[in-house]
Amino acid sequence: MPCFDMVVVGSGGGPDETNLSAYLIKPFHANWGDGIVALEAGSGMGALTQILKHTPDLFTSRLQDCNSAPGYSASAIYSFIRCFLITHAHLDHVNSLIISAGSLGGSRKRIFATEQTLHDLETVFADRIWPNLASWKEDDDSFRYLYTSLLTDDQYRNVATDISVRTMPISHGHNDTSGVYDSAAFFVRHDPSTREFLFFGDVSPDTLSPKPRTVNVWRAAAAKIPLTLSTIFIECSWPSGRADDLLYGHLSPIHLADELTVLATEVAMARKFVVKDLRNESGPTRKKSKSNPLSPESLYGALDGVRVFVIHCKDGHEVTYDRSINHIIADQVRALVAAKRLGADILAADQGMRIGASMILMHSI
């Protein structure tokens, strides 16, 4: 059985403002009305209203109320949100959180993010660009949002019933004024089962970054794959052929395939050392290694049972494609990963999709 239910409100990376990063999740066995976690908030109620015109039963529970559930409106669904989880404060990730701040129904909502990201949001909620509708105080009920910092330690923080999150910093480009720009990766855990999925905010290739930190995320994920972690959401903003100096802090297929190779290496090493440790009565012997001591053949099938959803694809290219850009890019990533025989299943996340996340055999819906 899956552990999470997810609805993709938007999976693009711009410039189409009707399809920007926004995912709604709940524990699989809960009802949407029991509370929703909004993972990113690029697109929002407007996009969901359009989606529901085509699939009015998108939020009908497959378990409790197959035939009897009302078709929820977008505003009803957004009133169920208990908290937002935000990887970084770029507009394509927070647009709807800002626009709808004064009109969301339901209880006061927390915004979980790193302190830097929350400070970035404060510059918007400062009575100039937008009214101040958020505060840091627990008892400020007149403010619709409650800023809540996530630490980038190795702890899981409970963010909603049965859902906890571990936050890791990653690099998302850099500029002359502020240096490396931080984004975040979230390990989202279903507490009762301890299963989790991994969700990346925008991220640079480690091979090009002055501060390569994605490897830390792969290292933290490796030992969990695939039994407790089998679903990864990661950006691939550009199609193949994009020059490295025009990535602007994002991945292209060749770089995503390289990143997945690093993950496969970490998985293979974790398994190798588990076997070694079992044979070695004196206990664990693994030392941190900077280089890859493994041959390409030893990575074959290392990511069997892992689903990788490609997200944040940018549209609006000069080249005209016969299909949507996220499918073009997913195909390109899939071919590269297949050539390396890593074993991962590469999928495109589509707007309006409902996904049962965090299980090996669940298919996207």
CA–CA gap between residue 86 and residue 93 (Å, rounded): 7
Question: By CB under 5 A, is residue 202 in contact with Zn ion?
Answer: yes
| CB 241, min distance to Zn ion, A | 20
Which among 54-62, 201-209, 220-228, 319-327 is the span making contact with Zn ion, rule CB under 5 A?
A: 201-209
Which among 132-140, 198-206, 217-225, 322-330 is the span making contact with Zn ion, rule CB under 5 A?
A: 198-206
Report the phi/psi class of residue 238: left, alpha or beta, with left for phi > 0 and alpha for psi in -120 to 50.
beta
Judge residue 101's burial from the number of C-beta atoms within 10 Å of its C-beta, 0-12 exposed, 13-18 middle, 19 or more buried.
buried
| CB 8, min distance to Zn ion, A | 15
CA–CA gap between residue 25 and residue 265 (Å, rounded): 30
| CB 93, min distance to Zn ion, A | 6
On whether the CB atoms of residues 259 and 206 are closer than 8 A, the answer is yes
Question: By CB under 5 A, is residue 40 in contact with Zn ion?
Answer: no
CA–CA gap between residue 180 and residue 172 (Å, rounded): 7
Q: In terms of CB distance, is 43 or 358 closer to Zn ion? A: 43
| CB 188, min distance to Zn ion, A | 18
Long-range contacts from 104-107, C-beta under 8 angstroms, 24+ separation: 104/78, 104/79, 104/144, 105/75, 105/76, 105/78, 105/79, 106/78, 106/79, 106/80, 106/81, 107/82
CA–CA gap between residue 242 and residue 328 (Å, rounded): 14
On whether the CB atoms of residues 19 and 11 are closer than 8 A, the answer is yes
Runs of H (alpha helix) within 60-171: 74-79, 91-99, 115-122
Q: In terms of CB distance, is 82 or 93 closer to Zn ion? A: 93
| CB 249, min distance to Zn ion, A | 7
**Contacting residues for 155 by C-beta, under 8 A, at least 6 apart:** 166
Q: What are phi and psi of 120, to 5 degrees?
A: -60, -40
CA–CA gap between residue 40 and residue 23 (Å, rounded): 6
Q: In terms of CB distance, is 236 or 353 closer to Zn ion? A: 236
Find the binding residues for Zn ion in span 86-105 (CB under 5 A): 90, 92
| CB 236, min distance to Zn ion, A | 12
Q: In terms of CB distance, is 202 or 266 closer to Zn ion? A: 202
Which among 70-78, 200-208, 269-277, 320-328 is the span making contact with Zn ion, rule CB under 5 A?
A: 200-208
Interface mask toward Zn ion for 162-181; x: CB under 5 A:
--------------------
| CB 300, min distance to Zn ion, A | 33
State yes or no: cis peptide before 131, omega within 30 of 0.
Answer: no
Interface mask toward Zn ion for 52-91; x: CB under 5 A:
--------------------------------------x-
Q: In terms of CB distance, is 252 or 358 closer to Zn ion? A: 252
Find the binding residues for Zn ion in span 281-300 (CB under 5 A): none
Q: In terms of CB distance, is 171 or 358 closer to Zn ion? A: 171
Site residues for Zn ion per CB under 5 A: 90, 92, 202
